[in-house]
Structure 1
């Protein structure tokens, strides 16, 4: 299985978990407050009252919302994802390839070669930005998730105020909490904004639910 096939499979499993739709149609959207152009991408909103020409993101909109830093890049990635969703896993007239072991031997049983098992793909981690348990978005990097939290917290401050921000990290739980710090650096105040690292499973583990 190629790297593209593996990552596509993981991404579609994540989208299925988030929205119940593994291959949504994508659009460019306004993922950053105050931007003049839609610099992010998100699945098309299924709400009939949300017009397709409206690039805003509302509570009815499905996740994830991904910031791309520029409109050309957002439009390009949305077009790529929409083209990919139209691709067939197997082209017409071609046979479905049999699974291979790392030795390159096709196995008619459909199972990995017992002598040379296919290595497991790396775990996929996403970062959830939330405020008081309300999910604001999922990101592929902690940096973007934290930037979202800081941007939202700044809205609660006057323009002439210059708050100092810091993150309290719990590496064991994969959680980082945004706090404000006074100028003396002695007093920390909670903001309610949290970034949580979430590992996305590639397979269902029945025992994990017990």
Structure 2
């Protein structure tokens, strides 16, 4: 009887241990599966975060480049406008200085001679006094009437209107400077742009 009891107890212990081992294996397997899923989810999330960071980084870099390009364009425009202002002001002063004395007399004579018509020449008050004798002599030599008048709006150079014609010519310092500046603007823009490209490439 004792032998049977001993055998029965051993059998129960054996079955209990086997059951416990089976349950333990099941728990370990389930734990491994959960751990593997957690690791896989974490890796997927990390990859998604990395991908999003790369997209945002690329977008930021692109915005930065565009901002720099716009700043460079704005700087070139500002520099170009500054250069244009300096050139225009200098040009205006040089033209005003040039449109006096012998050159002014020669220009008036050329215009009157080539037109072959009576004309009214408008100059500044200061130039009217200086040109009165010359225009009188020009009228005598050309056989045409040359009326000399002054206008406070004319600072240098002259305007001329021909009798019987609806044509007036403007050789004032302002008009000549504007015409020269209009010619210089695209050339000035090329120079500034060329210098900028050279600096960027270096």
Structure 1 and Structure 2 fold alike (TM over 0.5): no
Q: TM-score, structure 2 length as denominator? A: 0.19
Higher RCO, 1 or 2 (CA under 8 Å, sep at least 6)? 2
Q: TM-score, structure 1 length as denominator? A: 0.19
Q: Which has the larger radius of gyration?
A: 2
| Larger helix share, 1 or 2 | 2
| Larger strand share, 1 or 2 | 1
